[in-house]
A and B are shown apart, each in its own frame.
Chain A
Amino acid sequence: MTQLPSSTDRKMGLVIDLDTCVGCHACVISCKGWNTENYGAPLSDQDAYGADPSGTFLNRVHSYEVRPAEGPAQLIHFPKSCLHCEDAPCVTVCPTGASYKRVEDGIVLVNESDCIGCGLCAWSCPYGARELDQAEGVMKKCTLCVDRIYNENLPEVDRVPSCVRTCPAGARHFGDLGDPESDVSKLVAEREGMDLMPEMGTKPVNKYLPPRPKDQIEDQIDILAPLLAPVAEEPKGFLGWLDKTLEKL
Chain B
Amino acid sequence: MHPAPSVIIFTTLSGLGFGLLFFLGLGMPDVSGWVAFVFFVIAYGLSVGGLMASTFHLGHPERALKAFTQWRSSWLSREGWCAVIALLVMGLYAIGLVFFGQRWGFFGLIGAGFALATVFTTSMIYTQLKTIPRWNMKLTPAMFLSFSLAGGSLLAGQTSLAVPLLLAAAFVQAFYWWLGDKAFATSGTDLGTATGLGARGAVRAFEPPHTGTNYLLREFVFVVGRKHAEKLRIIAFVLAFMVPVLLLVLPFSHFFAALAVLSHLAGVAVSRWLFFAQAEHVVGLYYGKR
A interface residues (Cβ-Cβ under 8 A, vs B): 1-3, 18, 25, 28, 52-57, 60-69, 73-76, 78, 80, 89, 91-98, 114-120, 122-128, 131-134, 136-139, 194-201, 208, 210-211
Contact = CB atoms under 8 A, between A and B. Distances in A.
A120 B212 contact: no
B132 interface: yes
Interface in B72-86: 72-77, 80
Given A54-B213, A60-B209, A93 B76 contact: yes
A124 B68 CA distance: 19
A123 B131 contact: yes
A80 B286 contact: yes
Contacts of B158: none
12 contacts: A18-B197, A57-B209, A57-B214, A62-B205, A63-B206, A92-B73, A95-B66, A96-B77, A119-B57, A123-B281, A194-B196, A200-B131
B58 interface: yes
Contacts of A75: 206
Contacts, number: 196
B130 A66 contact: no
Interface stretch (B15-23, B26-34, B186-194): B186-194
Contacts of A211: 197, 200
Contact of B209 (A28, A123, A136): A28
B125 A120 contact: yes
Tell me what chain A mostly uses at the interface: helix, strand, loop, or mixed. Answer: loop
Contacts of A76: 195, 197
A124 B57 CA distance: 17
Contacts of A138: 59-60
A136 B59 contact: yes
B216 A95 contact: no
B194 A137 contact: no
Contact of A65 (B131, B196, B204, B283): B204
A93 B75 contact: yes
A68 B58 CA distance: 45
Contacts of A91: 73
Tell me what chain B mostly uses at the interface: helix, strand, loop, or mixed. Answer: mixed
A199 B131 contact: no
A80 B57 CA distance: 27
Contact of B208 (A52, A62, A124, A197): A62
A123 B79 CA distance: 17
Interface in B172-214: 187-189, 191, 193-197, 200-210, 212-214
A87 to B, nearest CB: 11
B94 interface: no
Interface of B: 1, 57-61, 63-64, 66-70, 72-77, 80, 125, 128-132, 187-189, 191, 193-197, 200-210, 212-216, 219-220, 281-283, 286-287
A110 to B, nearest CB: 12
B76 A64 contact: no
A60 B210 contact: yes
A117 B60 contact: yes
A116 B66 contact: yes
A96 B66 contact: yes
Contacts of A3: 72-73
Contacts of A78: 195
Nearest to B281: A123
A80 B208 CA distance: 12
Contact of A196 (B125, B195, B205, B210): B195
Closest 7 CB pairs of A and B: A117-B59, A137-B59, A60-B209, A68-B201, A128-B283, A95-B67, A95-B76
A67 B132 CA distance: 28
B204 A67 contact: yes
A65 B57 contact: no
A126 B200 contact: no
Given A118-B76, A127-B283, A62 B130 contact: no
Given A126-B283, A137-B59, A210-B196, A64 B70 contact: no
B279 to A, nearest CB: 10
Given A52-B212, A201-B130, A66 B201 contact: yes
A99 B125 CA distance: 16
Given A3-B72, A78-B195, 8 more contacts: A67-B202, A93-B128, A115-B63, A128-B283, A131-B215, A132-B219, A133-B59, A208-B196
Contacts of B219: 119, 122-123, 132
A191 to B, nearest CB: 12
Contact of B66 (A1, A56, A67, A97): A97
Contacts of B213: 52, 54
A96 B287 CA distance: 30
B63 A96 contact: yes
Given A117-B58, A117-B59, A197-B282, A95 B131 contact: no
A132 B220 CA distance: 12
A64 B73 contact: no
